[in-house]
């Protein structure tokens, strides 16, 4: 398995309001790198999301804006690279929203959602939230809604699934973006 696990946290409901991002790089079934940054979103308000992730406006006051972050990470979004997220619809929407807001061209990559893979492979779980799946699989998740912790957990969920079920059932759920 070779992929990048991605997680965004946002300041509010706006798709360009990313306030943190983490990437976990996996090569040959091993986590080989991590990237984390706070992001200063172009928004006038932080919504109730502070209660979820704890990131406040003062925490991101001196953080880079998204275009600077994108310059550091865009090489991870190469053509046909697999990007994985738990609830990938949300994270890919935030990435697209930030890129659109700053008029940055959208990359083409492959996406896989570990909520969907977990629903397919573990239908008996009472829900497929990140913390539930991690608890059921004994995957560490110390600080849920910390982007780096969530990205690590997502990577480990997919590695667990590939080890126990093979890659064939996972490949069926990959989407091209």
Give the pLDDT score at 54.
Answer: 86
- Can you give the residue range of the structural domain that contains 76? 3-176
Give the pLDDT score at 25.
Answer: 97
The rounded distance, in Å, linking the Cα atoms of 142 and 75 is: 29
Give the pLDDT score at 33.
Answer: 97
Q: How many domains does the chain have?
A: 1
The rounded distance, in Å, linking the Cα atoms of 13 and 42 is: 13
pTM here? 0.95
Number of helices followed by number of strands (H, E) in the chain: 8, 6
Report yes or no: 3 and 76 within 8 Å, Cβ to Cβ.
no
- Report pLDDT digits (tens) over 53-75: 989 999 999 999 999 999 999 99
List the pLDDT tens digit at each of the 177 positions of the chain: 999 999 999 999 999 999 999 999 999 999 999 999 999 999 878 878 888 898 999 999 999 999 999 999 999 988 779 999 999 999 999 999 999 999 999 999 999 999 999 999 999 999 999 999 999 999 999 989 999 999 999 999 999 999 999 999 999 999 998
- Report pLDDT digits (tens) over 23-60: 999 999 999 999 999 999 998 788 788 888 989 999 99
User: Where residue 30 sits, what CATH number does that domain have?
Assistant: 3.30.420.10
Q: How many CB atoms lie within 10 A of CB 135?
A: 12
Give the pLDDT score at 78.
Answer: 81
Tokens representing 55? 């990131």
Kindly compute the dihedral angle of the four CA atoms of residues 74, 77, 78, 81, in this order, to the nearest 10 degrees: 160
């Amino acid at each position: 398995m070779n992929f990048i696990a991605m997680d965004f946290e946002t300041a509010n409901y706006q798709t360009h309001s990313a306030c943190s991002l983490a990437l976990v790089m996996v090569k040959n079934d091993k986590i080989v790198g991590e990237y984390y940054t706070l992001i200063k979103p172009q928004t006038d308000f932080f919504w109730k999301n502070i209660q979820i992730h704890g990131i406040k406006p003062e925490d991101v006051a001196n953080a880079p804006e998204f275009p600077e972050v994108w310059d550091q990470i865009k090489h991870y979004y190469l053509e046909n690279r697999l990007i994985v997220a738990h609830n990938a619809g949300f994270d890919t929407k935030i990435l697209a929203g930030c890129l659109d807001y700053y008029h940055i061209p959208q990359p083409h990559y492959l996406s896989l959602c570990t909520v969907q893979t977990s629903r397919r492979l573990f239908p008996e779980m009472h829900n497929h939230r990140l913390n539930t799946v991690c608890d059921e699989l004994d995957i560490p998740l110390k600080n849920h809604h910390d982007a780096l912790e969530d990205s690590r957990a997502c990577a480990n969920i997919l590695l667990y699934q590939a080890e126990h079920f093979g890659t064939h059932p996972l490949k069926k759920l990959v989407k091209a973006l």
